[in-house]
Chains A and B, each alone.
Chain A
């Protein structure tokens, strides 16, 4: 049973380019979360999605960031027109529905570097 799979593991973009980060949750998990870890800081919640629905995006920056979890395929975190401050590790986590929803399994992260 594979864990949470994230790709790419490392991504380098120049300022103004777009970054797309993908996340496949644990098989059977229907809840997906994205967290960001800036250098010298803890993990910060960004967004919570279920299939085809954004449940809570209170941690997402208002501009340039979007997330989706389509009916088929992985969840995508999209960052448009990247800036140097977007350089961070982005972690995806998943959880089973209902009773286990508070127990998160994290992926290994995608490390974005903006030049």
Chain B
């Protein structure tokens, strides 16, 4: 079993839809949770960074962490064609493992006009 599981999709939605992306994990030591966006042939770009359980909102993006269920989500409101990319969840325990991230497989999202 992988430490971090992420549905690879692909996910296809119409413009303006609400998108829900999810990851589950098994390592209870994970405390820092991130979402990266990766366009084709590009490097990952940090979208959201959260610590422990709770919600964080940034514009059209909302990240949720439920440590009791070992489940994290990213919601994208009013999705745009420019949101079409691969979304990667990542996490670590912090401390001496700073920068050593465990990634999900990535979910391919297409937002069509």
The interface centre, meaning the residue of B46, B99, B106 with most chain A CB atoms within 10 A of its CB, is: B99
Chain A residues positioned under 8 Å from B43 (CB to CB): 4, 91, 93, 106-109
- In this complex, the interface size class of chain A, counting residues with CB under 8 Å from chain B, is 20 to 34
Tell me whether A104 and B105 are in contact (CB under 8 A). Answer: no
Instruction: Determine the distance from Cα of A21 to Cα of B36 in the docked complex, in whole angstroms.
Output: 23
In the complex formed, the residue of B with least CB distance to A102 is B98
In the assembled complex, B25 has its CB within 8 A of some CB on chain A: no
Asked if A42 CB lies within 8 Å of chain B CBs, one says: yes
Decide: A42 and B46 in contact? CB cutoff 8 A.
Answer: no
Best-buried of B4, B92, B94, B100 by chain A (most CB within 10 Å)? B100
Interface: B73 (CB within 8 A): no
Residues on A lying within 8 angstroms of B by beta carbon are 4, 31, 33, 35, 40-45, 48, 56, 59, 91, 93, 95, 101-109
